Amino acid sequence: MFPRPIEHAPVSRRIIYQVMLPISLFVWLLPLLAIFMTSIRSAKDINSGNVFGWPSSFDLFANYSGVFIRSNAGQYFLNSIWITVPTVALSISLACLAGYALAIYKFRASVPLFFLFIAGNFVPFQILMVPVRELSVQTGLYNTVTGLVLFHAAFQTGFCTLFMRNFIRALPFELIESARIDGVKEWHIFWYLVLPLVRPAVAALSVLIFTFVWNDFFWATVLTQGESSKPVTAGLNALNGQFVSNWHLVSAAAILAAMPPVLMFFLMQKHFIAGLTLGATKG
């Protein structure tokens, strides 16, 4: 293990380490703690400049419910859910199929196609912006939740396929081969043999894509306009303008917007990290 385990260090160093841990964490998360503290203060504190001192009153409930009462936050949340959940389902389904084809079959276009999916995944959004917006306007998908779902699903398919293909490829190929020899239909091999085995990959991708899409801001601004399809990130930007200098409300809204991915992460931490580190965990 590197660095040398602290258990083997002199007691004094061990104590210093144990004391430093919470202090460094506190400093690291200070911006977050500060905004949380702001989100439970009263408007009076904000206006009188009491940002650091003890809050004059704890308005947690008033501020957080205020966000919903005084803005369209409820609608934004619903929109975000309607955008994110179908995207996760669609992109992972597509990627299971494509990843299976790229991992199991040997055909000439296999590697070039695989690289196409990877490369597409890294392009700057701006090179897609004008044409995708135009396409959405033409097909009546502009400013709709469906329009965002279709784009996100298509874009995320690149990353998901990369991940799925590598995952399926690491499965024992003999399993598939012996099923083939037994005369099992290809479709059945995929459905009954491979799909149950890729469940960990599906879990990893689900949390990851959920987070990516939930946190998306760019496409939300490019492909939506009104309130009807705006997700929380774009909504938060609007709120920031609407609640000018009402920092207690802006903070509360920011924390609410951050909640779902944070919960997702803490509930499915192992899968989340497996997804993020792709090849680096191998070995």
Partner 1 sequence: MRSGHRNSLSLMPVLFIAPALLFFVVYVILPIFQSFYISFHEWDGLGEMTWIGFDHYVNLLDDDRFYTSLKNNLLWLVFYTLSVPAGLFIALYLNQTVTGIRLYKSLFFFPFVISQIVVGLIFSWFYNPTFGVVGHVFEFFGAAPPSILGDERYVTYGIIVAGLWPQIAYCMILYLTGLNNVATEQIEAGRLDGAKGWRLLWHVVLPQLWPATFLAIVVTVIGALRSFDMIAIMTQGGPYGSSNVLSYYMYETALSEYGYEMGYGSAIAVVLFMIMMVFIIAFLWKMYQDEKDWR
Report 227-256 residues binding partner 1 (CB under 8 A): 233, 236-237, 240, 247, 250-251, 254-255
Q: Which two tokens stand for residue 192?
A: 């009954």
For partner 1, the binding residue among 51, 69, 175, 195 (CB under 8 A) is 51
| Helices 60-70, 30-39: crossing angle, 10 deg rounding | 80
Q: How far apart are CA 152 and CA 218, in angstroms?
A: 11
Binding-residue pattern over the window 78 to 107 for partner 1, x denoting contact by CB under 8 A: ----------------xx-xx-xxx--xxx
CA neighbor of 186 nearest in space, from 64, 97, 249, 258: 97
For partner 1, the binding residue among 221, 225, 228, 267 (CB under 8 A) is 221
Dihedral sign computed on CA atoms, order 135, 140, 143, 144: negative
Q: How far is the CB of 56 from partner 1 (least distance, A)?
A: 15
For partner 1, the binding residue among 58, 177, 178, 200 (CB under 8 A) is 177
Does 69 interact with partner 1 (rule: CB under 8 A)? Answer: no
Residue 215 or 242: the one with the smaller Cβ distance to partner 1 is 215
Q: How far is the CB of 156 from partner 1 (least distance, A)?
A: 10
Residue 65 or 225: the one with the smaller Cβ distance to partner 1 is 225
Residue 157 or 206: the one with the smaller Cβ distance to partner 1 is 157
Q: How far is the CB of 69 from partner 1 (least distance, A)?
A: 20
Q: How far is the CB of 62 from partner 1 (least distance, A)?
A: 20
Residue 172 or 196: the one with the smaller Cβ distance to partner 1 is 172
Binding residues for partner 1 restricted to 12-31, rule: CB under 8 A: 17-18, 21, 24-25, 28-31
Does 276 interact with partner 1 (rule: CB under 8 A)? Answer: yes
The piece of 57-65, 69-77, 81-89, 272-280 that touches partner 1 (CB under 8 A) is 272-280
Cβ count within 10 A of residue 218: 12
Number of residues that bind partner 1 (CB under 8 A): 103
Q: How far apart are CA 169 and CA 159, in angstroms?
A: 16
Does 266 interact with partner 1 (rule: CB under 8 A)? Answer: yes
Binding-residue pattern over the window 134 to 173 for partner 1, x denoting contact by CB under 8 A: xx--------------xx-xxx-xx--x-----------x
Bond from prior residue into 3 cis (ω within 30 degrees of 0): yes
Does 132 interact with partner 1 (rule: CB under 8 A)? Answer: yes
Q: How far is the CB of 222 from partner 1 (least distance, A)?
A: 7
